[in-house]
Amino acid sequence: MIQRIFNAYNMQERNTEMISIDKTSDKSLYEQLYEQMKSEILNEHYAAGEKLPATRQLAAEHKLSRNTVVSAYNQLELEGYIRSVTGSGYYVENISAFSPDKKSRQSHNIQHSSRQSGKTFDYTFSYGNLDYNCYHSRAWRKCLTNAWDMISMADTASYQMSQGSYTLRSLITEYLYMSRGVNCTPEQIILTSGHQRSIDIITHIFSSSDYSFAMEDPGYNGTWEIVSQSPFRIIPIPLEDDGVSIEHIQRLRDTLLYVTPSHQFPMGSILPISKRLELIEWAVQSGSYIIEDDYDSELRYQSRPIPSLQSIDNSGRTIYLGTFSKSMSPDLRISYMVLPENLMKDYSSRYSHTNCTVPTVLQLALIEFIQSGNYQRHIGAMKNHYKKKHDYILNYVKQNLEDDVIMYGAGAGLHFVAEIKNSYLTQSELISAFEQKGIRIFSTEPFWIRKNLCPENQLLFGFSAIPYEKLPGAMKTFSKIIHSL
C-alpha cells in the first residue's frame, strides 16, 4: 500500500513537471494549460483513472490563479478527458481509443470537430452552441434526478396531453407576463420540441390556399427551410435600419408574417413602437397574422427587455413563439407558442389527439427549476457570463478596429454581424483568409432568401461557444487578419 502511494505521488510530481507555462505567449494561460494537459492525457503520460493534481496545488506550482486551472479542468471535463468526483478531485478518463497511435480514430474525431472541413481551428466564432448552459447548474441536475424519481414512483408511464403539462404552461404564463408583458392563459400555450416544430404546426393550422407566408430577408433560415417544405408561397420582405419594411408589407393581404422584432435575426435591429403599431393595424385590416419569434429576449445587456409585440396587440392577431434553447440549452428541445384564442379551435381540431413531443422528465424537471427560483438565478448568471464576452468584443473593436469593422446587433443576444469596411473580397475569400490563420467564422448567405442581395463583406460573428479565456488571443488574431486584408 505504501509503495502504491509512493508511486502515485512520484507519477503526479513527474506529470506536473511536464507542464510549461509561457507568460509572454500570445496564448492565454488557460489555453496553454488546457492544451498541454490534453496532450499529456492523449499521450498516456497520465494513466486512466489517475487522480490529477488539486487545482490549488497546480496553481501554486505554476504561479497561476486557481480560476485559470479550474477553467482548464472544466474544459477537459466538458470534452470527456477527465471526470470530477465530488469531494475527491479530478480523475483521468479511459481515452486509450483516442491515443496518437490510433490514427484512424483520431482522424475521424478531427473531421467531426471541424465539421468535416479537413482542419481544426484555434478559435471558432459559431452561433447556437452555448459554453455556459443549464448543465453547469447543480440545481438543474438535481431537478432532473428528482424528475426521474417521480416517474419511477408512478403507477404507470403515460403520454402527456397534446399541449404539455398544465402546471408548466401555468408557470410559463406567469413568467411571460412578468418578463415580456404577454397576455395569455395556460390554455393558449402549446409546448413543442423546438422552434421548427412550432413553425410546422402553424403551417398545418392555416391553409396555403387561403394564406401566403412572408418573412424578413435576411431572416432565420430554420424558419424558411420548414416553410419551403410546405405548400406555402414565401414572400421575402426587405429590412430597413430599424427592422422590417412596413411599406413592403402594406400591399399584402391574408398573410402569415414571421418577424423577430425585439432582436432581428441576424442583423440585430429593434423594431420601434411606431412600426409595431403599424404592423398590428395592418394585420387587422388585411386579415393577416403576425408570428413573433422572441428567441433570445432574456439576453439584453444595455437596456431593459423590450415589451413583446403580443403585449400591445388587443386584436388577437399575434402568434408568440418562445424557447428555452438560449436560456437553458439547445439540446433540451423545449419551445412553446402562444396562440390567439380564436385559433385554438383550429389547433384542437388537428392536434387534440397528438401527444406532446417534449419528454415528461424534462417537463417535470423544468417545473421544479422554475418554482424553486433557480431558473431566474440561472438566467442572471448566464446573462452576466455572455455580457462579459459581448462587452469585451465590442471594446476591443472600438479600441483597435473602429476604422475597419462595424459590429451590428450590439446590446443583446449571442452574435454580431461583422461588416468588414473597404473589403473587395467575396465572403468565401474572407472566410478562407480567416481559416488560414486558425479562425473559423461563418457566412451570412444562408439567412438570405434572395442570395444575390447578400453583402460580400458581412460575416456572422457568434460568441456563444468560444470560452472567455480565449477571447484575447482570438481578437488579436482577428485584428491581425483584418489589417492584412
Q: What is the pLDDT of residue 16?
A: 52
Q: How confident is the model at residue 212 (pLDDT cuts 50, 70, 90)?
A: very high
Q: How far apart are CA 473 and CA 42, in angstroms?
A: 24
Q: What is the pLDDT of residue 97?
A: 41
Q: Is the pLDDT of residue 5 over 60?
A: no
Q: Say which range, 92-96, 173-177, 287-291, has the weakest mean pLDDT.
A: 92-96
Under 8 Å between Cβ of 131 and 464 = yes
Quick one: 217 exposed, middle or buried, by C-beta within 10 A (0-12, 13-18, 19+)?
buried
Q: What is the pLDDT of residue 98?
A: 42
Q: What is the pLDDT of residue 480?
A: 96
Q: How confident is the model at residue 17 (pLDDT cuts 50, 70, 90)?
A: low
- CA 393 → CA 67, 307, 366, 473, distances in Å? 21, 27, 33, 12
Longest dimension (CA), the chain: 85
Reduced to 3 DSSP states, what percent helix, strand and coil does the chain have, rounded to the nearest 5? 45, 15, 40
* pLDDT per residue as tens digits for the range 249-267: 999 999 999 999 999 999 9
Q: How confident is the model at residue 311 (pLDDT cuts 50, 70, 90)?
A: very high
- CA 188 → CA 172, 179, 291, 302, 334, distances in Å? 11, 18, 15, 32, 16
* Mean pLDDT over the full length of the chain: 87
* pLDDT per residue as tens digits for the range 95-122: 654 443 433 333 333 233 334 445 789 9
Q: What is the pLDDT of residue 164?
A: 94
Give the residue with greater pLDDT, 402 vs 35.
Answer: 402
The C-alpha cell of 94 is what?
479511459
